[in-house]
Amino acid sequence: MTLFRLECKTHIKTLLIWIIVVGLLTLGLVSLFPAMKDMGLQQMDLKSMPKEMLKAFNLSDMGLLATIKGYFGYEYQYVMIATGIFAAMLGTNALSREESEGTISYLYAQPISRISIIGQKMLANSILYTLYWIVSMAVAFLVCLIFKESGASVSNLFKAFSQLTFAGWVMGLTFLAVGFLLSSLLSSNKSATSLSLGLVFLTFILGVVGKLKEDFQALVYFSPVDAALPSAVFKNGIEWNYIVTDLIVICISCLLALWIYRRKDLKV
């Protein structure tokens, strides 16, 4: 498990930075809730805007912004996008970094197979993402408890966050797995960041388009972010059809990454 430990050690600093930044961002966003609630933004007139547009950007019911669940659900969707980028970056860097930095020759000098290489890297990065997500959700829940409106049910809030924690975990693993697939095709990690950004924003836009027009509703299944939108999870619970789709994508991506990497001519 030497490679597993090395992989965790390599990313521990990045993990801590992301946790701190996302935690502070969450605190900053949620701390604005009392002021926003007093401003009465839920009473804004949105009748002039198309219903499809409001639905696409999760603003169908502005009245929900007067509750901590509704406000958090809307604001945190942008943190979910950042979370997807973090997971995708972990995946796209995992395999390509070894060739780009020349450390693949060190791995080849060890009694380790390619299956073991990709298996340990998948395990290490999955654990790193899981730690990031659990800590982020714990911070978000505590912050929401501090700034929630009077009379809000703590048990209902905990149930909603439990569902969001699971849905967001699956979302991140989906981007991580697709990132692994891309990494198995790359021989350099120079384009890993741009690929991660492109992957997340492209799928997010597909989800928006899918909600804008019923004819394109199937596009929502290509958007892992939509499977874990806080506003949707808080309102309707977990959408299992999206979760199953994500799990299928995870399995296919991991198997393809393994198949490609085993047959790839590595640059030593």
**Which domain, by its residues, includes 105?**
2-263
pTM of the model: 0.88
In the chain, how many domains are there? Answer: 1
Residues 216-220 have a mean pLDDT of 81
Quick: pLDDT tens for 43-82: 455 555 556 555 655 565 555 677 888 889 888 988 999 9
Q: Residue 122's closest CA among 22, 251, 246? A: 251
pLDDT confidence tier of residue 42, bands split at 50, 70 and 90: very low
| Residue 88 in this model has a pLDDT that exceeds 90 | yes
Spell out the SS3 assignment of 183-198. HHHCCCCCCHHHHHHH
Report if residue 268 sits inside a domain: no
Q: Give the distance from CA 128 to its chain's centroid.
A: 13
Q: Is the pLDDT of residue 168 over 90?
A: yes
Specify if 25 maps to a domain.
yes
**C-alpha–C-alpha distance, residues 97 and 90, integer Å:** 10
* Structure confidence by residue, pLDDT tens digits, 135-150: 999 999 999 999 888 8
